[in-house]
Amino acid sequence: MTYTIKTAQNEWEIVCGLEIHCQIISKSKIFSGASTEFGDDANENVSFIDAGMPGMLPVLNKECVHQAVKTGLGLNAQINQYSVFSRKNYFYADQPNGYQITQYEYPIVGKGTVKIDLADGSSKEIGITRIHIEQDAAKSIHDLNPKKSYIDFNRAGVGLMEIVTEPDFQSPEEAGAFLKKLRSIVRYLGTCDGNMDEGSMRCDASISVRLKGEKGMRERAEVKNVNSVKFAMQAIENEAKRQIEIYENGGTIEQQTRQFDQTTGQTKFLRLKEYADDYRYFPEPDLPPLYLTEAYIEQIKKEMVELPDAKKERFMTEFGLTAYDADLLTESKQTADFFEKAAQGHDGKKVANWILGDLFAHLNAEKLLLEQSPITPEMIGELVGLISEGTISGKIAKDVFDVMWCEKKMPSQIVLEKGLKQVTDTASIEALVDEVLAQNPDNIKAYKDGKTNLLGWFVGQIMKASKGAANPQIVNEILKKKLG
């Protein structure tokens, strides 16, 4: 269904494309040997090359090339065997050379596609225009002094992949779904950590609007450096509404670069948007063209891991999961691996329920990551096995889970130590049933007179009398027989 913004006068459509900057996972920077470690003291990881010292020559980091090719393959994109580095000239305090080494006419990766899944159950193909590699700029810090800005050059020269999409997004939700999918893919591949709050994945959104049914494009504005999926969606929606208001009041849109204000949820003017000619691109004289062999690309293909879409389909087929559960479990590789270990030899659907329900609830309450969980996949698998074989009931399993969380013991050990094994002895359960029935003759009569929903009440009383230890299935069978 097409997303539109309705006003009193018109119905408008959003046209949006994204540029996502992903910091490449590599121990050293793209053109120098300086460390890429995040969180070190300001200006600690800066080489003479990063600082733009005269006479310093860049040397291409082959790991950054490797990671870019792997990412291109993960996005079903064309890998270009010939690419060229260029100088993008602009003067700003975060760029000590007065130019950025990037790729322009001949990027390392060409066109590709990414499938996104939407909340209404539909899916959509998003076109990838290109991926090029470049050096990151330094970080400007404006909130330490009211009169000064500071520059931290630790980030200067870190390898970046700039992933440019086609203008295929028609709603904030589509853009949000794409960012989540892209982040998931690069994390699976190990090419970028995707931590938007740390700045290692940043999003620029180019946004324009047009009347519903209108062909062609109107002038756009670019919102720079948005650092979360939520904020990207807010920026797209609010910038679209700003442009619509201007058009409906008889104004025009300038090609601008804007900034998203997290406190107000609005975009604000930063500067007029540059055109390509303003950067005076020319081939980087200190770096030769990059040639990749077929053998090199084929070798990287052999390293590829199973990606989220393929894993989701396999989980649905192999473990009988719903599309919704499979989507949640495959969003991160850590969660998918945890589930798969837990589900080996057990009921996959029940394992998924325990992970997505009780385990995630405990993790969220304690503000823990999955890798910090005191409960292991083996514990979840064994717990499900104990339920399936009738050793414990689902109700007792909840109590066992809580003990597992606190004491980090295997569920079988907890059941043994606390005497929680489910009673399956028919004679013992029958005695409990007889006791409860003898105490409630009025309810027996009401049941036989047609109030059959009292069956659940009887089961509850019997389970309470057994302190949850009686096998519910056997309780139901005996109870139904005795009630006629």
- Structural domains of the chain, with CATH: 4-300 (no CATH), 306-418 (no CATH), 426-483 (1.10.10.410)
> What pLDDT score does 250 carry?
94
Cβ neighbours of residue 293 under 8 Å, at least 6 residues apart?
A: 81
Residue 100 pLDDT > 60: yes
Q: What is the pTM of this model?
A: 0.86
Cβ neighbours of residue 235 under 8 Å, at least 6 residues apart?
A: 205, 207, 223, 226, 260, 267
From first CA to last CA, the distance across the chain in angstroms is 54
Cβ neighbours of residue 295 under 8 Å, at least 6 residues apart?
A: none
**Tens-digit pLDDT profile for residues 382-421:** 999 999 988 888 888 999 999 999 999 999 999 988 877 7
Q: What share of the chain is helix, strand, coil (3-state, %, to 5)?
A: 40, 20, 40
Q: Which residues pair with 257 in a beta bridge?
A: 222, 271
Q: How far apart are CA 390 and CA 325, in angstroms?
A: 25
**CA trace torsion 244, 246, 247, 249 (10° rounding):** 120
pLDDT band at 379 (very low <50, low <70, confident <90, very high): very high
Q: How far apart are CA 34 and CA 47, in angstroms?
A: 6
**Tens-digit pLDDT profile for residues 304-358:** 999 999 999 999 999 999 999 999 999 999 999 999 999 999 999 999 999 999 9
**Tens-digit pLDDT profile for residues 121-141:** 899 999 999 999 999 999 888
